[in-house]
């Protein structure tokens, strides 16, 4: 019972940068894991987080949890690390900051040894793969994108936004290609015209021609799927070319990375993105975890970091509910629905029931956030919103 | 739109040209493929960043320091690694800079972290409108730097004693040695100059690029293609090769499809290699 959970993330930075960002991201994930370990393993009468009133997991005789760390900087490394964590460290579940590609190789080991995995790669190929031990708490691309277009409808109906045309810009990786495909299909379903669909090279050294094409298309909304470096490159080029659409909508990735506002400062303003969570969501658990994290790290907690640790808490809760550390028992508890007191849930989800056929949590929902004064503010759904959306965006010369 | 694309293509070309000239110099003089040229540029960007962080100096003010630092860094690399590799088998000579590039990238990750960096509040910023063409002042820094560096390099190679010694060494090492030229010094200075060119380029690039330790890798391949287009060993050819690449990149991406822009560059490269194997200006 010593090592209950494994969080896979890159700690061997000399190998690659590819999969999960820089070393600061790893420090942040480790800091969050330490907070959750402390909350679960020790008694905290004043806390709003899960298992705070107990010392350890009550369903497992007060067992303590421990996050063990591995490297997932490439799909190949993720596979070998998953094998190591399962066979040598004896972990009972895997969670962390995975991409869809590294999740797939990790699942090879997880399926072989019958170890549950909960990660948040958004590709639909993960839920279509027929994995037995896979779980995803928050939505996949299909739901994120559907929510995006539903939001455009909401703006047209309630704010007279007059949005009709969309320009899609996505990198030519699995991440970007999947999103672009679903965006094009969903745009058609909702009746929006895609006036330009740009798939740029993910190793591009410049995006000038991409931006010139987008500028020429002059769509009402530019929707983008890019990782951190590219999202910054595009923002720089948008400014250079004096172009900013009425609405610039990112699909997480680089637009949610801490690097984005850190480097752009107020140039990040008006950018919207779908998100899993935001620190301004109004509940006690959010306030507490945000404060604890900020006190420990001196930076604002972001949704991608929180969910990496939170999925570990869900695995622990499933084991606690099952009264067993057996992989099949934990997976059965996930399918039955993991009981987490909504008052202790920073995500405020209605439930945690992972479908047997594809592992998707039936209750996973997205929010929409916008950069305002270089900070993210929740603008949709209305019940969670802390600010009114700023639309249309001001052009560069008007700011 | 046409003029805008042309301007942007030339701007992009200057980056490729700065990379390509360093590669062409090292290859032309000592037959070493400088796979680490992109990483030298990355190191220069970080030096600029750290100078800005410590002193608040603008990249333009820091540029002389960065160039000198990179020149000395190049000399250090030459004396400790390249000079020894030149005594080894050809394969080691070819791959030594590749390994060096990986060390520099991962070393920078350890030193500065993997997060994206930028230099804030630059001295020159904004856009000049010339009719339908918007000229970015930040990008102009790159263009001017490239032109000045190219001019200085030509002057140095053609007008100075050391430049002539480097050229003589590149043409015939043994004959150069016989007439009293210290060929090892010529090699060392050439490698140092190559790193200094990357220093100027990297410093200027902080004006228009956010950067992280692996930024050099993506640029590298385009630097090599520019050298092949212009001709290995020809510094002027490398400059023109870079410009051609930038223009093809922008025109194909804007008027045809962004998906084809690198394919178009590669097709032109294949055509030139097929019909003019030594490149446009190769010897």
CA distance A249 to chain B (A): 20
Look at B209 and A236 and tell me if their CB atoms are within 8 Å: yes
CA separation for the pair A277, A281 (Å, rounded): 7
Distance CA A199, CA A230 (A): 12
Angle at B103 between CA B101 and CA B108, to 5 degrees: 100
Contact residues, chain B to chain A, C-beta under 8 Å: 1, 4-5, 8, 12, 15, 106, 109-110, 113-118, 120, 127, 134, 136, 138-139, 208-210, 212-215, 218-219, 222, 249-250, 252-254, 258-259, 261-262
Of B116, B120, B136, the CB nearest to A259: B116
Flag whether B64 is in a domain. yes
Say what the pLDDT of residue A54 is: 92
Nearest alpha-carbon partner for B111 in B212, B232, B242, B179:
B212
Residues B203 and B59: beta-carbon distance below 8 Å: yes
Give the Å distances, CA to CA, from A298 to A28, A258, A263, A378. Answer: 10, 13, 17, 21
> Six-digit token pair at B279?
């490149």
DSSP line for A232-255? HHHHHHHHHTT---SEEEE-SGGG
The answer to whether A17 faces chain B, any CB pair under 8 Å, is: yes
Residues in CB range of B90: below 8 A, 6 or more apart? none
CATH number of the domain encompassing residue B109: 1.10.3470
What pLDDT does A244 receive?
Answer: 96
With CA atoms as reference, the chain A residue closest to B247 would be A209
So what's the pLDDT on residue A7? 59
Percent above pLDDT 70 for chain B = 100
Which overall architecture, per CATH, does domain A141-275+367-398 show?
Answer: 3-Layer(aba) Sandwich (3.40)
pLDDT at position B45? 97
Arithmetic mean of pLDDT over chain B: 90
Structural domain boundaries of chain A? 5-139+281-344, 141-275+367-398
| pLDDT greater than 60 at residue B40 | yes
Residue A138 in tokens = 């928050």
Instruction: Average the pLDDT over B162-170 and give the result.
Output: 91
The CB-side HSE value for A270 (13 A sphere, CA atoms) comes to: 17
| Beta carbons of A156 and A391 less than 8 angstroms apart | no
Out of A4-8, A281-285, B73-77, which region has the weakest mean confidence (pLDDT)? A4-8
Which of A18, A171, A240 should we substitute to test contact with B (largest number of B Cβ atoms within 10 Å)?
A240
Q: Kindly state the helix (H) or strand (E) to which residue A293 belongs, with its residue range.
A: helix A284-297
Interface contact A200, partner B, CB < 8 A:
yes
- How many angstroms separate the CA of residue A263 from the nearest CA in chain B? 6
Q: Is the confidence at residue A288, as pLDDT, over 90?
A: yes
User: In whole angstroms, what is the distance from residue A32 CA to residue B121 CA?
Assistant: 33
Closest Cα of chain B to A176: distance in Å? 13
pLDDT of A25 reads: 64
- Does a structural domain hold residue B93? yes
Q: What is the mean pLDDT of residues A382-387?
A: 85
User: What residues in A contact B120, CB-CB < 8 Å?
Assistant: 265
Query: How close, in Å, is residue B30 to chain A by CA atoms?
Result: 28
pLDDT at B2 over 90: no
Residues B239, B150 contacting (CB under 8 angstroms): yes
Tell me the average pLDDT of chain A. Answer: 89
Which pLDDT score is estimated for B121?
83
* Architecture label for domain A5-139+281-344: 3-Layer(aba) Sandwich (3.40)
CA distance A63 to chain B (A): 36
Question: Does the distance separating the beta carbons of B210 and A263 come in below 8 Å?
Answer: yes
Q: Do B258 and A200 touch (CB under 8 A)?
A: yes
Q: Is the pLDDT of residue A229 over 70?
A: yes
- Encode pLDDT of A307-360 as tens digits: 999 999 999 999 999 999 999 999 999 999 999 999 999 998 989 999 999 999
Greatest Cα-to-Cα distance within chain A, rounded to the nearest angstrom: 65
Residue A320 is predicted with a pLDDT of 94
Q: What is the pLDDT of residues A95-108, one digit of tens each?
A: 987 788 889 999 99
> Fold match between A5-139+281-344 and A141-275+367-398?
yes
Q: How far apart are CA A162 and CA A392, in angstroms?
A: 10
Cβ–Cβ below 8 Å for B116 and A240: no
Structure tokens at A230: 């590219």
Residue B235 pLDDT: 84
Checking if the pLDDT of B178 tops 80, the result is: yes
Q: What is the pLDDT of residues A39-60, one digit of tens each?
A: 999 999 999 999 999 999 999 9
In the predicted model, is pLDDT for residue A16 greater than 80?
no
User: Residue B282 domain-assigned?
Assistant: no
Among the ranges given (B50-54, B160-164, B224-228), the one the predictor scored with the smallest mean pLDDT: B224-228
Q: Which residues of B97-132 are buried (b: 16+ CB within 10 A; e: fewer)?
A: beebbeebbbebbeebbbbbbbbeebeeeebeeeee
Give percent of chain A above pLDDT 90: 67
pLDDT for residue B68 is more than 60 = yes
Tell me which chain B residue has its CA closest to the CA of residue A19. Answer: B114
3-state SS class at B191: helix
**Nearest to B4, CA basis, from A215, A217, A171:** A215
Give the torsion sign (CA, B250, B255, B256, B257).
positive
What phi and psi values does residue A120 have, to the nearest 5 degrees?
-120, 25
In contact, A28 and A289? CB cutoff 8 Å: no
Q: Which residue has the tokens 């962004």?
A: B258
Question: For residue B122, what are the domain limits?
Answer: 2-275
Residue A167 has pLDDT above 80, yes or no: yes
The whole-number pLDDT of residue B93 equals 81
* % of chain A exceeding 70 in pLDDT: 94
CB contact under 8 A, B210 and A201: no
Round to whole Å and give the CA distance between A27 and A299.
Answer: 11
When pLDDT is averaged across residues B19-44 and rounded to a whole number, the result is 91
> Whole-angstrom Cα distance, residue B35 to residue B99?
8
Task: For residue B244, give the nearest of B3, B5, B10 by alpha carbon.
Answer: B10
| Separation of alpha carbons A349 and A361, rounded Å | 10
Q: Reply yes or no on whether the pLDDT at A22 is more than 50.
A: no
pLDDT of residue A19: 29
- Record the tokens describing residue B253, joined without a space: 């991406």
**Triad A250, A252, A254: Cα angle to 5°:** 85
A378-381: Cβ within 8 A, 24+ apart = A378/A275, A378/A278, A378/A280, A378/A281, A379/A272, A380/A151, A380/A154
Find the closest chain B residue to A203 by CA distance: B218
pLDDT at residue A2, rounded to an integer: 45
What average pLDDT does range A371-389 have in this prediction?
A: 90
- Would you state the pLDDT for residue A5? 59
Domain count, chain B: 1
- CB pair distance less than 8 Å for A233 and B261: no
């Amino acid at each position: 019972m010593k090592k209950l959970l494994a969080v896979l993330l890159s700690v061997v930075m000399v190998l690659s940068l590819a999969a999960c960002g820089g070393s600061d991201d790893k420090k942040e994930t480790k800091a969050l894991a330490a907070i959750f370990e402390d909350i679960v393993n020790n008694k905290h009468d004043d806390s709003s987080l899960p298992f705070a009133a107990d010392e350890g997991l009550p369903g497992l005789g007060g067992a303590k949890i421990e996050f063990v760390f591995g490297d997932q900087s490439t799909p190949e490394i993720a596979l070998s690390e998953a094998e190591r964590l399962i066979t040598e460290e004896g972990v009972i579940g895997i969670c962390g900051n995975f991409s869809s590609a590294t999740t797939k190789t990790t699942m090879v080991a997880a399926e072989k040894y019958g170890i549950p995995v909960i990660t948040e790669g958004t590709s639909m190929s993960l839920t279509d793969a027929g994995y037995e031990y896979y779980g995803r708490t928050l939505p996949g691309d299909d739901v994120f994108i559907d929510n995006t277009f539903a939001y455009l409808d909401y703006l047209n109906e309630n704010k007279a936004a007059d949005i009709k045309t969309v320009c899609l810009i996505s990198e030519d990786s699995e991440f970007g290609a999947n999103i672009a495909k679903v965006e094009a299909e969903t745009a058609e379903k909702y009746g929006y015209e895609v006036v330009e669909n740009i798939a740029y090279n993910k190793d591009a050294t410049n995006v000038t021609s991409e931006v010139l094409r987008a500028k020429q298309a002059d769509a009402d909304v530019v929707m983008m799927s890019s990782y951190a470096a590219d999202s910054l490159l595009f923002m720089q080029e948008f400014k250079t070319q004096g172009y900013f659409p009425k609405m610039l909508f990112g699909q997480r990735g680089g637009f949610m990375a801490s690097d984005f506002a850190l480097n752009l400062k107020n140039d990040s303003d008006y950018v919207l993105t779908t998100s899993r969570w935001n620190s301004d969501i109004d509940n006690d658990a959010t306030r507490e975890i945000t404060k604890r994290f900020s006190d420990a790290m001196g930076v604002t907690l972001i949704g991608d970091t929180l969910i990496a640790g939170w999925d570990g808490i869900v695995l622990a809760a499933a084991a606690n509910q099952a009264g067993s550390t057996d992989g099949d028992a934990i997976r059965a508890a996930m399918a039955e629905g993991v009981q987490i007191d909504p008052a202790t849930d920073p995500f405020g989800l209605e439930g945690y029931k992972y479908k047997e056929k594809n592992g998707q949590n039936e209750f996973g929902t997205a929010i929409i956030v916008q950069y305002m004064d270089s900070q993210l503010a929740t603008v949709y759904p209305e019940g969670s919103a802390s600010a009114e959306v700023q639309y249309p965006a001001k052009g560069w010369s008007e700011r | 739109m046409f003029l805008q694309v042309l301007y942007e293509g030339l701007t992009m070309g200057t980056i490729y040209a700065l990379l390509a000239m360093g590669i062409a110099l090292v290859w032309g003089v000592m037959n070493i493929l400088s796979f680490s040229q992109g990483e030298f540029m990355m190191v220069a960007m970080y030096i600029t960043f750290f100078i800005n962080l410590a002193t608040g100096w603008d990249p333009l003010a820091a540029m002389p320091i960065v160039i000198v630092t990179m020149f000395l860094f190049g000399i250090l690399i030459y004396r400790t690694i390249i000079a020894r590799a030149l005594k080894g088998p050809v394969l080691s000579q070819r791959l030594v800079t590749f390994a060096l590039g990986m060390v520099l990238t991962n070393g920078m990750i350890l030193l500065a972290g993997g997060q994206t960096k930028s230099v804030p509040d630059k001295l020159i910023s904004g856009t000049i409108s010339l009719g339908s063409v918007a000229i970015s002042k930040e990008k102009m820094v790159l263009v001017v730097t490239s032109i000045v560096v190219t001019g200085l390099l030509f002057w140095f190679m053609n007008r100075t004693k050391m430049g002539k010694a480097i050229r003589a060494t590149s043409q015939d090492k043994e004959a150069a040695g016989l007439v009293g030229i210290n060929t090892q010094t010529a090699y060392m200075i050439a490698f140092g100059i190559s790193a200094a060119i990357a220093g100027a380029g990297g410093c200027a690039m902080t004006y228009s690029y956010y950067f992280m330790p692996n930024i050099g890798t993506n640029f590298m391949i385009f630097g090599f293609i520019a050298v092949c287009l212009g001709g290995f060993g020809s510094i002027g050819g490398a400059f023109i090769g870079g410009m051609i690449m930038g223009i093809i990149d922008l025109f194909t991406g804007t008027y045809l499809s962004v998906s084809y822009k690198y394919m178009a560059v590669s097709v032109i490269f294949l055509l030139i290699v097929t019909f003019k194997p030594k490149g446009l200006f190769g010897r």
